[in-house]
Amino acid sequence: MTMSKNSVIFSFIFLPFISSATTQLAPALYVFGDSLFDSGNNNFLPTVARANYLPYGANFVNRSTGRFTNGKTVADFIAEFLGLPYSPPFLSYKRDLLPLTGLNYASGSCGILPETGSPFGRCLNFEEQVGLFQDSVKSLQQRYFQILVDFSNYLSKSVFIVSIGSNDYINNYLETSLYDTSKRYTPQLFAQLLVYKLSQQLERLYNLGARKIVVFELGPIGCLPWITRNNKHTGQCVEDTNQIVSYFNNMLPAMLQNLTTSLKGSNFINGHGHGVGYDAIINPSKYGIADASNPCCTAFFNGTSGCIPYLRPCNNTNKHYFWDGYHPTEVVYSILASGCINNASFCTPYSLKDLVKV
């Protein structure tokens, strides 16, 4: 398999360590992305891409919130580390009552491109999410800040995290029955398009006041049950699919470095989730995982899609890598979050622990 040049694989047993801060390490956490980060925005949209029913949330105070997993996401673990409440879904708030500790704009099934995920119903693509943040900036300033420099300091010290692009492959490029994208673009050109469109919106976030922005690369999509159960392959993953996605991951670091260099006072951080995510599938016992192939919940279409409502999931959720046909379990998210928080070779050039001090 050809991985991102900067992918990180830890050669020791990875025990996630995430300590919750007793004081706030940042004034707010703003979250953007897809179903890996969605905390409930899709509950308010006309879409079939929802997770507001059990067994989703089975380990999240035993309730479903709209998170596409059994418990916490990477965004939730990062919020705990920062000493902040979980960033609530933006669509659950009235514009004049937005909280000061951050918001979540992520939307399941959506991506960087506006057409991605459209067959499933309404979702918030990345450009729309940034647009909603722009609306939030106006509301927050009017409600909380009379002095502009104070508001600028608040935004510059806040942490912004982005995980977007997976669906541009899952619900677009690889979905050849619904999209002709793979006929119009080679994998290299498609990745180039995505990275360019992503950079435009990241620069827009900067212009709105963001300075500390963590952007996660794409995970091992070729290892998802949705892929492995629908395609002939040898080994644990469909490596041809991982190869297609690798072009995006290989282009991401240079783009983020260019933004950091050209935009004064900015720190764009590359979150290397692919290497650890892949290693945990190939060498699961190293991470305390027993099953890195099968979904923990009983999922539609032979385990390749979302969880069937209200059916009891597996008993040992913390031993499974996959929750449904697309998404990891909380234990995998805790591994990824811990890596970014504590390790500067995972989140580069600063770990989150160091980024909050910059």
> Mind telling me the catalytic residues?
35, 324, 327
Whether omega for the bond prior to residue 55 falls within 30 degrees of 0, making it cis, is: yes
Tell me if residue 234 falls in helix, strand or coil. Answer: coil
Residue 246 contacts by C-beta under 8 Å, 6 or more apart in sequence? 1, 2, 3, 4
Quote the tokens at residue 320.
Answer: 């499974």
Residue 226 contacts by C-beta under 8 Å, 6 or more apart in sequence? 170, 304, 305, 325, 326
Q: Is the distance from CB of 202 to CB of 263 less than 8 angstroms?
A: no
Q: What are phi and psi of 174, to 5 degrees?
A: -90, -10
Distance CA 67, CA 138 (A): 27
Distance CA 162, CA 157 (A): 16
Distance CA 216, CA 328 (A): 15
By CB neighbour count within 10 A (0-12 exposed, 13-18 middle, 19+ buried), where does 149 fall? Answer: exposed
Distance CA 26, CA 19 (A): 15
